């Protein structure tokens, strides 16, 4: 939830403001409106990947597809790939 608020929400607000500005320019300054729409499109494309990362963090596909062990191992691997030394040790009681 915090990642949505901190990363996605400001980007969506900025995108909405750019589109709103383009809307106000449609009748008076078409070239500027077109440029703003192109900018908004580029920004939306750019931020799609960030949004996907946040959404995957909420409910990672690997968790439902391959289970908790694979999901946790994936988190550890991503941390290791980014230079954060990480280990995972899980000890669960047998049922």
Give the pLDDT score at 31: 97
Are 70 and 52 contained in the same domain? no
For the chain, 95 residues long, the average pLDDT of each consecutive 10-residue run is: 70 92 96 96 87 76 86 89 87 76
Instruction: Report how far residue 54's alpha carbon sits from residue 75's, in angstroms, rounded to the nearest whole number.
Output: 13
**What is the extent of the structural domain holding 19?**
2-58
Are 40 and 80 contained in the same domain? no
Residue 27's CB is within 10 A of a number of other CB atoms, namely 8
Domain count, the chain: 2
Are 39 and 71 contained in the same domain? no
What is the pTM (predicted TM-score) of this model? Answer: 0.53
Give the pLDDT score at 1: 58
Are 81 and 50 contained in the same domain? no
Within-domain flag for 95: no
Are 19 and 49 contained in the same domain? yes
């Amino acid at each position: 939830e915090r990642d949505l608020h901190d990363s996605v929400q400001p980007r969506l607000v900025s995108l909405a403001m750019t589109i709103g500005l383009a809307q106000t320019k449609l009748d008076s300054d078409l070239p500027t409106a077109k440029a703003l729409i192109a900018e908004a499109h580029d920004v939306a494309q750019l931020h799609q990947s960030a949004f996907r990362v946040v959404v995957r963090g909420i409910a990672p596909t690997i968790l439902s597809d391959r289970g908790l062990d694979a999901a946790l191992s994936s988190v550890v691997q991503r941390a290791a790939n980014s230079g954060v030394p990480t280990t995972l040790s899980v000890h669960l009681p047998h049922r």
